[in-house]
Amino acid sequence: MENKAKLTIDSLSDNIGLARVTVASFASQLNFTLAELEEIKVAISEAVSNSIIHGYAEESGEIEIRMRVYGEQLEIIVKDQGCGIEDIEAACEPAYTTAGRMGLGLVFIDSFMDKFEIESKAAKGTTLKMIKIPAQEKKQIN
């Protein structure tokens, strides 16, 4: 089975909840537990928050969220056209921040997802790719 959807939102904190609920609803096509759906919601919240706070800072822009179910996995791509990440390796370290916050967003995303990739270019934006497989499906594979 394959299915896909796309959500484009303005870079406003009011839209974080919409992104969370939309992605969780889409993810429910697969056999995720409630705990796994919560992990997906946290990961999306962090990805969208990072785009708003770090990517666009005081400016406004759009955040595109693409979702795809294929096989027995969920792929989520969160893309902005903000300022980009200068040092991706440093940004993935715990407590790294450019906005006086806790700096754990990318760490949470990495820990909650089965696969996590970042592409970023200065002044061009950032793309986060996340893949999550239901635990029940992983057990069947092993």
Within 10 angstroms of residue 113's Cβ, the number of other Cβ atoms is: 20
Q: How far is CA 95 from CA 52, 61, 65, 99, 127, in A?
A: 18, 26, 25, 11, 21
Reduce the DSSP state of residue 103 to 3 states and report it.
Answer: coil
Q: Is 46 a catalytic residue?
A: yes
Nearest to 25, CA basis, from 86, 67, 80, 77: 67
Q: Of 46, 62, 72, 89, which is the active-site residue?
A: 46
SS3 content of the chain, % helix, strand, coil (to 5): 40, 30, 30
Q: Of 86, 93, 101, 117, which is the active-site residue?
A: 101
Q: Is 66 a catalytic residue?
A: no
Active site residues: 46, 50, 101
